[in-house]
Amino acid sequence: MSHYWRHPAVAHIEIRNVVDGRGFSHEPHAHATFSIGAIIGGRSTYLNGHHTREIGAGSLVLINPGVVHACNPLTEEPWAYRMFYVDATWLATLQRPSGTSTQAAFQPFAEQYSDDAQLFAGLEQLYRQLTAPAASAGELQAAAREYFQQLLRRLTPSAQPPVQDKLLRAAELIRQRCLQPLPLEEIGAAVQLSPSYLIRAFKAQYGLTPHGYLIDCRLQLAREALRRGEPIAAVAAQAGFADQAHLQRQFKRALAATPGQYRRPSVQQH
């Protein structure tokens, strides 16, 4: 059982609340957003890039934009979590005043996981604040800023080694051109890596080949269109899928939800 939460006052945040995820199976996928999730019940495997670990209740997962990841339950016990998808551009505006970054673009975090009890409790408090029936737009915005400023104070952005920086640029190029023909040779030339090395290094870093990453980027575009309420068949065509059935298969495989379920969140606003 799961639902999505959105509110126009904090349009830069989307929440997925999963009460029992035993029936879910996520394929490795990525998001254009920064994602932070609280595990509130059960245990799961957690893949982030090429790192895998076991996590349980009380854990926080942190996923930088574009990083391939997946969480799937370990046992038959109930598995519950809340995932916050946060617009990276908005978060970058908080990084600069907080002193964690002097650059205009969002700076990735070094941490992929945290057992910081204060950050976990704060994220749970943020969930209650955002979903409170009587909360005003100003209260929602202030609560979001306060939590993510706290997150930035306790965690710091990472410095990227040269090869990882090239892979980040390759991923960005794929995101920008995912609806166009994009030969592997062109990607390699743009980031000064040979096609064969690019495939190996990209999959080691992101868990997907460049082509798999391109398909995942199309899924992200489909999510944006579905959030706008566009018809599923039209979304499939706009996002580069052969037809609605093709989108349905890829969407369910990656996100453990159908396009229709995603298009109609349980709660949009108060």
Instruction: Give the CATH number of the domain where residue 87 resides.
Output: 2.60.120.280
The answer to whether residues 114 and 144 belong to one domain is yes
Tell me which residue range forms the domain holding 137: 2-154
* Start-to-end C-alpha separation, the chain: 21
Domain annotation covers residue 268: no
* CA nearest to 122, candidates 60, 64, 57: 60
Mean pLDDT is lowest, of 73-87, 134-148, 153-167, for: 153-167
**Could you give the number of structural domains in the chain?**
2
Domain annotation covers residue 119: yes
pTM higher than 0.75, yes or no?
no
The answer to whether residues 110 and 198 belong to one domain is no
pLDDT at 215 over 70: yes
pLDDT for res 131: 94
Give the strand order in the sheet containing 69-73. 51-56, 43-48, 69-73
Distance CA 208, CA 223 (A): 19
Give 38-47 pLDDT, tens digit per residue: 999 988 889 9
pLDDT for res 110: 85
pLDDT tier, 268 (very low <50, low <70, confident <90, very high otherwise): very low
Domain annotation covers residue 224: yes
pLDDT tier, 17 (very low <50, low <70, confident <90, very high otherwise): very high
Distance CA 250, CA 198 (A): 24
Domain annotation covers residue 270: no
pLDDT for res 53: 92
* Cβ–Cβ under 8 Å, residues 197 and 180: no
pLDDT at 251 over 70: yes
pLDDT for res 100: 58
Give 177-207 pLDDT, tens digit per residue: 999 889 999 999 999 999 999 999 998 888 7
